[in-house]
Amino acid sequence: MFDDLGVPVEVRTSPRRVVSLVPSLTEAIAATVPGVLVGATDWCTHPDGLDVERVRGTKNPDRAKIAALKPDLVIANEEENRKLDVERLRDAGITVWVTKIDSVDEAFRSLERLFRDAFGLTALPHWLHQARDVWDAPPRRPGLRVAVPIWRDPWIWVGAHTYAGDVMERLGWTNAAASLGERYPHADPARTVAASGGMDAVLLPDEPYAFGPDDGPDAFPATLRTVAVPGRALFWYGPAMIEARETLEASIN
């Protein structure tokens, strides 16, 4: 079988020792195949009370600790994890399944393949059907123009061809930073506002950069609305997708 990048992966039938290097997929695996996770990153905050070995971050995983856990399978993501770490884990004889998720539909396809092919499940989890129903609904408040920074100093924005960008499109919103022409463009707030052709709001997530009431709104004109949103609603695929839509739509009422 092949992972999302087309790399052949020999997965043991029904892996029982799994390390996840992707916070949203950690939550998805815990909800779908309870008890198989033996390791996760420090950023894997869901589900609450997850009691597994921590293997540092998504960009700097402790490969020696991962190897010591003797996993049947390691789950990674093309965007969140470094290719170098994936290659070195594989060179050490560890099986790694890499996901690629740049849209809501890709999330559904990737999650289906993960649980069907990598975990050998014959029935998809109930939460995945719920999430599909949520995101199949038509937009409730179309026409808004918004922009989403993910970092400050330097300022980095959600651009085109990204999962969060597609979430905005599925909500019927225009990603005003997409005009900057990159997946994650670097641009100061003034340039982004000028390039947007006008926007209704800037959405300030609490991750990966922890924007807050005193860190973020100060960079924009007082006439431009800034809205705090949970980063989990914008960036996490998996069970978080069930509540994400309602959370985001409610945040901008």
pTM of the model as a whole:
0.95
Residues of the chain with pLDDT > 70, as a percent, come to 100
Tens digit of pLDDT for each residue in 156-193?
Answer: 999 999 999 999 999 999 999 998 988 999 999 999 99
Which of 76, 81, 201 is closest to 149 using CA atoms?
201
Tens digit of pLDDT for each residue in 55-69?
Answer: 999 999 999 999 999
Q: Which domains does the chain have, with CATH numbers?
A: 18-124 (3.40.50.1980), 145-251 (3.40.50.1980)
